[in-house]
Structure 1
């Protein structure tokens, strides 16, 4: 049985997903309303996550994944220690048919307590390729980086 997975960062990159999850199939795209991209991290680096934010939206790809694909994603995302999973009801637009379909899909959200931080150039490049793979405007990544800088300044001032 296939499940639906929402990708918004490096897992938009089709080549990378092909290595990690060889059975995964991209099936559609959707704008997640009332969410915002931000980079947060740990000692190993800073990565994208999404956080609730009225008035914002995040472009995401919808992948159909197998149980083995989900297990590979769990390992890659550091589930459940680094990222947790939540299920969201979505209506996506199909890549092949452009028809809308309602499904429930899981998404990885970084666990609370990780500070905002800037990503490596390599990670940004990987995400940008993914954005282009799905026809998303890569400016959203630059916006996320600028927003992350603002949050970093706020966190420094609070600390």
Structure 2
């Protein structure tokens, strides 16, 4: 199948997060911010963001260019950005449908229109100051009406609902990125915060080194070898003196056990922290 032409995509939900967008669409470029007229933002009954047609309302968001001709960029499959995004948005399951709508585009300075993954990795370029900030160079750029921009929306699930808990965290990450990239903070305060509470991001999961470190701090069980002639038998362990061989007993959550000692005809007696193994004859 021949590659599709690049397409502009308007994000208004969790894909406002540059990191999430870079993961979902590794070949995408950040283009700028935009306003979708005559639509209203909502959390629908599925618990995710949606936009519904509503005259007089506007929705703010970010615009990315989906690189549909470079879907194999540092990946192990040939899916292009739009195919990946269709899968993430649940197009085939009916969660969202695709629409081509007109938005008012405020393009970022040329230096800022780079791979989304680069912008996410090297830091947000709009910091509210300087010639490249949201209060500087962007204001001097002329907004333009951009037609046929891809928007994912749900025409089936349009009733207001409550956000899913994990989605609140993803939306908060997207809101922080969008504000840094020039989207007015007042928009989120007046529209989005009614559904998405502001809360700090969850702590990152422990690193492998931290996990290993915690594991090494735990006392490790010791194996002991005893014989019937010795009186150092582990607590709760009983055997007959007809077997003089040494056996290795290892502590575990059930106590001391040595599965090699017992075979056919065994009986297991549970005494709280320890299990006592009885055998009809020694192995």
- What range describes the TM-score normalised by the shorter chain of this pair? 0.7 to 0.9
- CA drift of 1:119 comes to 0.6
Query: Out of 174, 193, 215, which is 1:142 matched to?
Result: 193
Question: Does the 8 Å contact 2:25/2:81 carry over to 1?
Answer: yes
Write out aligned runs for 1:9-158 (5 A).
9-42=13-46, 46-67=47-68, 68-80=80-92, 81-96=94-109, 98=138, 99=141, 100-103=143-146, 104-113=148-157, 115-135=159-179, 136=183, 137=185, 138-139=188-189, 140-144=191-195
Give the number of equivalent residue pairs. Answer: 143
TM-score (ref. length: structure 2): 0.47
Higher normalized helix content (fraction of residues): 1
Structure 2: give runs of 5+ residues left out of the alignment. 69-79, 111-137, 198-283
- 1:7-34 alpha-carbon deviations (Å, 9 max, x no partner): 0000111011111111111101112122
Q: 1:133 to 1:52 in 2, by over 3 A?
A: same
TM-score (ref. length: structure 1): 0.80
Higher normalized strand content (fraction of residues): 1
**Highest RCO, 1 vs 2 (Cα 8 Å, sep ≥ 6):** 1
Corresponding residue for residue 149 of structure 1:
none
- 1:54-84 alpha-carbon deviations (Å, 9 max, x no partner): 2221101111002211101100111141100
Query: Out of 2, 8, 15, which is 1:4 matched to?
Result: 8
Q: 1:9 to 1:73 in 2, by over 3 A?
A: same
- CA drift of 1:121 comes to 3.2
Structure 1: give runs of 5+ residues left out of the alignment. 147-159
- CA drift of 1:115 comes to 3.9
- CA drift of 1:90 comes to 2.5
Deviates more, 1:106-115 or 1:94-103: 94-103
Q: Which SS does the other structure have where 1:129 is aligned?
A: helix
Task: Give every structure 1 segment of 4 or more consecutive aligned residues whose post-TM-superposition deviation is greater than 6 Å.
Answer: none
Question: Does the 8 Å contact 1:37/1:144 carry over to 2?
Answer: no
Q: Based on CA coordinates, which of the two structures has the bigger radius of gyration?
A: 2
